[in-house]
Structure 1
Amino acid sequence: MSDDRVRGFPAFGAAGARGRFARSWWGRAWLSAMEDTALDLRQLKQGRKYAAAGLVGPITVSPGRITATVDDVDGGPYRTQLRLAELSEGDWTRFFDRIASRAGHLAALLDRDMPPDLVEAAADAGVDLLPRIGDLDPECDCPGWELPCRHAAALSFQASWLLDADPFVLLLMRGKGEREIREELESRTAPRETELAAADRTPGELPDLAGFRPSGAPSIPAAPGVPAEAFALLVANASGQARALLAGQPWPGRRHDAVRLAAEFPSVAGRLGEGGGFERAVAAWTYGGRAGLEVLESPWTPPKAALAAARAALADVPDEEVVFERNHCTAGAVQLRLDRRGRWHPYRLEGGTWWPAGAPETDPGLLLG
């Protein structure tokens, strides 16, 4: 088993009591699966107190289980675990095929978001990602007989914090680590070998295009069952690919194509994808192009000098209101995300989800001022 399939998390401690448990909807679904199965509500109440008091030790997540030791005022520590059935290889194949076919779902998952329509799409393919009543199987070496006991309940409550921050924790319990999942999705969205071979052919000498100026897109009438706007979209798409290839820029491929086209042709966006994840991806491209989509999908660690410059630009904002995490800078209901070109992209918190909110700026002070 690779390190990618075993993840360890430090103990939250008493300081980990950050208010209510499970802020995300999938975190709440996790707790519901545990709470609706419990026969003794007193154990749940005690487990909540143990979790908030920081009695749960470091947590380890691996395929099929999440484990930790839990202290108790009456003894312990006790070794506690929650089991969850792994998905079969057939389940994973259907899940990967379904997610890879929808750019919005893919973008949301890579941004560590799990919109309801992504889970619904997986369920339509016969794959249950979230646990249901009775799916979580608690075990503990304490003398108690309750299922779950207060120690397993405490572990489950703290696990909801992990799930809030990263839905890949749930997918790891279902059997695959983040690296495996990303590689599988990349293999499904990468160009085919025949396409790569064609791209590798050395083209002949091109004519001098410096003085060439197109007269405009050709006017193509509608065909039976095919509206004229469909032809206009295909022409624009081919033109965009040609410009990128002539400029030596890599084409984003099918994974981002649907998002780009929906941003450039809003009238056909509904045919290319749907759901909150897809809409966020389209908004990110609309405001920031390919770089905007990259900061939505892929967090990265910028150099220290870039973060120091940002802190200096935000000197007028109280330190306790600004939180830096990798390339994200959060201040209340506003978040800024730094792209690799040194521009900050603004986001607004709407319904518990960060949404692209405007064009990027090199000076973060202009966006938080």
Structure 2
Amino acid sequence: MTGTAPLPTDEPTGRAPAGASRRPSEAARQALRTARRPRNPVEDEHPPGPAPAPAPPEPADRPGDVARRALRTARARRIADPTAAAPAERGPALRPAPVESPEPAAAPEPTVPLARTRWGTEWIRAMEDHGPERLLRGRGPAAGGRVGTIAATPGRLLAYVQDDRPRPYRAQLELGTLTDEEWDAFLDAAAEHPGHLAALLDGELPPALADCGALLPGPGDLTASCGCSDPDRPCRHAAALGYATARLVDTDPFVLLRLRGRSEDELLTALSRRAARSGRPPAGAPPLPGVRARTAFAVRTLPALPPPLPVPGHPEAPPAYPAHPDGPDPYALDQLASDAAARAHALLTTGLDPLAGLTPWQDAVRWAAARPGSGLTATTRTPYAALAAATGRTTTDLRRAVAAWRQGGAAGLTVLEEPWDPPAGRFDRARPALLAVGLPPFRPVRNHLTHPRGHRQLRLGRDALWYAYESEPGHDDWWPRGTPATDPVSALTGLDTTD
């Protein structure tokens, strides 16, 4: 239609009208550069400087050509960044916050000790005494657990330390090894004290050897290296490795030996040789008398033993012990010696121990019953009191038990202290036998037969013997009397059985 401007088209290529210039205008070149460059919203909204004003289209360009080029530029931007919204749909661009250069913050002081034993503490002390002040920067990473596994080899400590980047730093400490002369001096210091030598041979490193100064680092012994860019040495990573080594020394102090160039086995072998040399006689000393092993272990026939001496007919009397104010009781010593002699004589003549199987209480009663006399006297009062206190009984209990032992030995003491239920037979025939001799009917209670007046009693023992007891009428205070017998009437012989 004449007089109407041509409509813009989306075709990628437009044919310029006849007579138009083939060279692209400055506006077209600017649009092409914008389409090729990656889109940055920050620079689009806030350019770094005043953008040059676009040159006006050349007179040869028609308005339709400019519109088509602008549409192609927007289409190219959408193809390059599909997620970009239209200019009318985007909000204001946000400027990124300024990024400050990361600086390592000061490590806080550890809340737990870096060392718990004497050797770990001495390692830290020696390291700080002979190291620079910047060594203290490693306490924070070491206490925070940022030091990995430590590899300890002769003269070298190696570990990876985590810090301000994902990839850890490789830190290393080199420690000078000891010469043979220095090792000899250390072994001499350990061998001077038998306690130190015994502890080392038992697999323990005594803390007192820290005073020797041979195992701990000295001035100039530690050389640090690390993969970080810190020009100062030691850096905080190598210093953290040094502090973390204290915990390794806590667990195994023999790590110090490996760092100084000797293993634990080599040290113990050298100490064993020194201990063997220390037990040898000095040079020039006469040899000690001895017997060759071949002679000592040779097979030979020993001569026969001499015949035993004849057994005496009775135990000999013990020697007399003088009395002394601060010495033991001579009477008690005499009794103990006599008792030991009687027991030895019984063993020699019979081959049996008469006291085998006795309890302490039974042995105390036996010992007291073997002494002459009856009841408590000035001579027997002290031993009776001591025996009763030692066995947890009273003196009256011991006197009653002595009477039962003198009546029937161990069986008589059992009759006194252990009532039992006898079977039918001997016990049932005892009452008719007592009635047949004119005695009143005795009351049966378990293995006891008691007189109606309550002043006489018969007890049947487990050895089938009858034991007579006597008490005050109306009192349950029975004491052994007489001699045991197989017949109940014979057991009561000599006792008052009348009404």
User: Is TM > 0.5 for Structure 1 vs Structure 2?
Assistant: no
Higher RCO (C-alpha under 8 Å, 6+ residues apart): 1
TM-score (norm 2): 0.33
Structure with the higher strand share, 1 or 2: 1
TM-score by length of 1: 0.44
Over alpha carbons, which structure has the higher Rg?
Answer: 2
